[in-house]
Structure formats: structure tokens, C-alpha cells
Amino acid sequence: MKRTVDTNDYSNLRILKISDGDRPGEKYVQLQYSLLDKRTPQVDANGKKVRRALIENGRFLQAEDGRWQLADYRLVDVPGALVKTAELESKDLKAQAEARKQQAAGSAQ
């Protein structure tokens, strides 16, 4: 797990759906997130690194201490239109964060 986190940059995590499993202490969660492979990033025509949009169906099990742990997962094919939507959402989130930062700096003065 640590190696995966060290070699990939994750962002824009969204929980799309949560449903009960087939037995107590089991849940299915559908997640959408953006991924940038730090080792071999994809590059667009302008030389800019490209993030991939991914959807993952994960199965979580509840441990005896009450914590939920990922048991297994399956990646879902993501249509190209969703990839573009994720890129636009990422740009929008960055713009919103920058606006909040500037607003906070302005009100602090």
C-alpha cells in the first residue's frame, strides 16, 4: 500500500454509492478519484501531465474493533466523457481553493 501511495498522486475523491453487503459487517462502496502516476505520467500534446479518472468498486469489512477495512476492489472502465468531467472538476476545485486563499489573505489585512 505504501509503495502505491509513494508512486501515485491521488485527488478529487468522491464517494458515489454505499450499499450493504450480503452479510453483517460488509459494505460495498463505489469511489471516483483522479490519479497521476508519478513514475511514468501520461503527457498531453502541450507537455502537461494528465490525471486519469478512475472508478473503483470496493468491498469493506468491519473489524471487531469497529473500524472498516478494505477487503478487495475492482476498477471499473471509465468513459472518456467522465475523464474530461473529472479534469474540469479538478480545475474548478483548484480555482475555488485559490479564491478562498485570496479571500482569507484579504480579510486578514
**What tens digit of pLDDT does each residue of 29-47 get?**
999 998 888 888 788 888 8
When pLDDT is cut at 50, 70 and 90, the band that residue 82 belongs to is low
Is 54 within 8 Å of 78 (Cβ atoms)? yes
Query: Would you call 25 helix, strand, or coil by DSSP?
Result: coil
Average pLDDT over the chain reads 83
Q: pLDDT value at position 2? A: 55
> What is the separation of C-alpha 53 from the centre of its chain, rounded to a whole number of angstroms?
8
2-108: CATH number: 3.10.450
Alpha helices in the chain (DSSP H): 2-7, 80-108
- Mean local confidence (pLDDT), 65-93: 75
- Please compute, for residue 98, the number of CA atoms within 13 A of its CA located in the half-sphere on the CB side: 6
94: pLDDT strictly greater than 80? no
Place of cell 471499473: 76
Nearest C-alpha neighbor of 12 from the set 103, 88, 104, 108? 88
Q: Where are the domains of the chain?
A: 2-108
Query: Would you call 59 helix, strand, or coil by DSSP?
Result: strand
